[in-house]
Structure 1
């Protein structure tokens, strides 16, 4: 895989997660149907870890393209971030009639950049549609399962800092 594809992916997910980090904690206070209220400390910790996992997936695949784990981890992240732009960002914006943080970067960075990367990787026959779909479901499920734990850890870290 070409390094510029890794850089594009990292650029897109970083800007997306930065947009969320700035506005999502406040938005979550009024989005009870779509997002449990989360403090900035909880969210910032979680989004940092998720961003680092995304970087890890990209660089792991870049350095070890023959590794099945690296391939599945990276393409699962690509697919998960495309799905994430629609569910929950676009759906929440439509149903709440209020902008959900992350929508613009999801629609205008993550979907086109990740789709471009997927096409480039498809052209090199690194994976099949079936692998893309399965890895997106697996990685997406793992990330969704990890987020509440990361919120909890982020909250505990913030609490322990306040007690000092």
Structure 2
């Protein structure tokens, strides 16, 4: 991959990390006052979870930057890019518009994750290393793995806390 792809990947990683930091710092307080949730969000869980997502994002970024030819890292990065681009719009932007209140993560998602995620996916589609269908199939698979893992961990951790309190 080209140096510009690698730079975009690093900028994407920085953007995701800033996005996750913003969520960890402000999302729990905002959610408590703006959303009706089935559980009481725990700030420590959000710190841990957003930190883990940030670490997971950097694994394929480092892989893309140091590996000579890294189709698996590129596919994983495209999946994360797809997940984070979608995340910028749904829920962050949509909830901000519906609630008439800034949802923490909306700005960093729209400023960094959406455009850089689209650029990463576009670059992989243009590289012709695998078919377009293959790129999308693998991107969707990795995006689903990230989403299921993240939401499963989030709800699982809150369920464990609720059970410990009972």
TM range (shorter): 0.7 to 0.9
Aligned to 2:36: 32
8 Å contact from structure 1 (residues 89, 102) kept in 2 = yes
- Note closer, same or farther for the CA distance 1:57–1:93 as it changes in structure 2 (3 Å cut): same
Q: 1:148 to 1:115 in 2, by over 3 A?
A: closer
CA 41–120 in structure 1, closer or farther in 2 if over 3 Å, else same: same
Residues 53 and 122 of structure 1, relative CA distance in 2, 3 Å threshold: same
CA contact (8 A) 2:12 2:112 kept: no
* Gap regions ≥5 residues in structure 2: 162-166
Q: In the alignment, which residue of structure 1 is the partner of 2:54?
A: 51
Equivalent residue number for residue 81 of structure 2: 78
Contact 2:78 2:139 in 1 (8 A): yes
- The count of aligned residue pairs is 157
1:130: which partner in 2?
Answer: 133
1:128 Cα deviation (Å)? 4.3
- Structure 2 CA distance for aligned equivalents of residues 65 and 126 of structure 1: 13
Residue 16 of structure 2, aligned match among 5, 13, 25: 13
Q: CA RMSD, aligned part only?
A: 2.7
SS in 1 for 2:41: coil
TM-score (structure 2 length as normaliser): 0.78
CA positional deviation for 1:81:
0.9
Structure-2 separation of matches of 1:155 and 1:46: 15
Per the alignment, do residues 121 and 94 of structure 1 end up closer, same or farther by CA in structure 2, a change over 3 Å counting?
A: same
Residue of 110, 118, 123 corresponding to 2:121: 118
1:144 to 140, 144, 147: 147
Question: C-alpha displacement at 1:154, in angstroms?
Answer: 8.6
Q: Distance in 1 between matches of 2:82 and 2:130?
A: 13
What's the offset of the Cα at 1:79? 1.1
Partners of 2:101 and 2:81 in 1: CA distance: 26
Q: Is the 8 A contact 1:9 1:114 kept in 2?
A: yes
Residue 8 of structure 1 and its aligned partner are, at CA, apart by 0.9
Question: What SS is found at the alignment partner of 1:18?
Answer: helix
